[in-house]
Chains A and B, each alone.
Chain A
């Protein structure tokens, strides 16, 4: 009984960490325009749309976050074992070093990508670099420490046998995957193309024609996170939090039922519920939004 309470308490903490990690990951990738569709920011100067957007997408979010989380937790593990440092302090130090390293990559990526567009007349804005990079480092720190913490809890208390830096690598890739799948839609389809009417997809002919002006003055990357924090960030956090929570909840509660098969049946039941929910909102949207044109046949 005590075991169960401990595991469930740990799981609640892990779910909270995952939610924060997901939200911070998505906002960090919006700051740096690493979110899809980063190709649009790259394309914009080529179609005559010069911009002040930070552009650091030299690899996808999942890979970047796999590296970031694995670095942070490997340093934390090294500090905790070599110097017998308290794990909380080790995780904080590991995340700090990883986030600073990430800041270096962000800076070089920004300089490299933007200078490559000189022939289209795109200037390198040093003030953009100076204002946005600290925000990127800060959000990367929050995401890394959250991922490393719940990976550590999964390994040390829940009893997952993989070493915790490997778990952090896996969860980093999954966090990036979630941010890329969920939050990017809000950034790519809504914020970068805010002039298009609500309730339509982006026609291919509009590609690259991103919004250049912000609420005040020219739009910077720091204006983007304030918008994406309304839907993109929280939904990414919800997605990752749900993943961590549901998968381990069914395991912890039902693993003793039917010699382990209870957890599997419960998992399958949750998948069916999720798919049924999806069908429900699909029908709702079709009914309420209606078709774009009349059926001709």
Chain B
């Protein structure tokens, strides 16, 4: 394999991991307190929330890849480029840009669908099962809709449910995590990994970055309007280093295998 192609693969894995790490910061995570209607966000852990959305993106991206390979949608040259491991060379990228774009788009749409359902279905339960309005205690007014928040928060809690601003923030998170997951999968596939190995390695890289980001968040976050969001530069550095190291390992396996 060309050294430049290997370099592009490392860059794609690095960028993919970085986007996952940043995306996690946008997802409104409430953890255990959210499950008691004691904090704003979704009532589960940061890592698994990001992983759940990214995984649907990965499944969608894999499905679209299969549709291209079996000729259901026509992107000529993609299968050959994957087989000859030239998909991520300069000429491979320019001639297959349509296929690469649709695979990444599939990842994004899958991740956004999952995260929107993960936000909205619990909201149905908060409103009709618990009888509480959706409110955040971190801001006085919702930055997007302008709705008053503080008077809708139960005394002694830090909010409950996922209000509109947090839902929109989660969609941005899904977008970034979807691009990251699909890009990593594509880079591994382009380097000659089999579909199963590429999927598994992409899951691993996804987990590494979402766990790193979770350590940075430490507990709960509501989205881009949360003061904790300002911590993102630390995750940027951490995830970049971790992903590039993983990318170099992946490239080494590809280089030795070829």
Contacts from A to B (Cβ < 8 Å): 35-40, 60-63, 154, 158-163, 166-167, 169-170, 173-174, 176-178, 180-182, 184-190, 192-193, 198-207, 231-232, 235-236, 238-239, 242-243, 246-247, 251, 255-256, 259-261, 263-264, 267-268, 270-271, 274-275, 277-279, 281-282, 284-286, 289, 291-295
Contacts and interface: CB of A to CB of B under 8 A. Distances in A.
Q: Is the interface of B mostly helix, strand, loop or mixed?
A: helix
A147 B171 CA distance: 26
Given A203-B156, A264-B105, A184 B35 contact: yes
Interface in B25-57: 31-38, 42-45, 48-49, 51-52, 55-56
Interface size class of B (residues with CB under 8 A): 35 or more
Given A37-B32, A278-B164, A177 B52 contact: yes
Given A180-B43, A271-B116, A160 B63 contact: yes
Contacts of B43: 36, 180-181, 184-185, 188
Q: Is the interface of A mostly helix, strand, loop or mixed?
A: helix
A246 to B, nearest CB: 6
Interface string B146-159: 01100111111111
B157 A282 contact: no
B118 A185 contact: no
B32 A285 contact: no
Contacts of A202: 36-38, 154, 157
Interface of B: 31-38, 42-45, 48-49, 51-52, 55-56, 58-60, 62-70, 72-75, 98, 102, 105-106, 109-110, 112-114, 116-134, 145, 147-148, 151-160, 162-164, 167-168, 171, 195-196, 199-200, 203
A73 B119 CA distance: 29
Nearest to A287: B133
B120 A62 contact: no
Given A160-B62, A173-B55, A293-B151, A264 B109 contact: yes
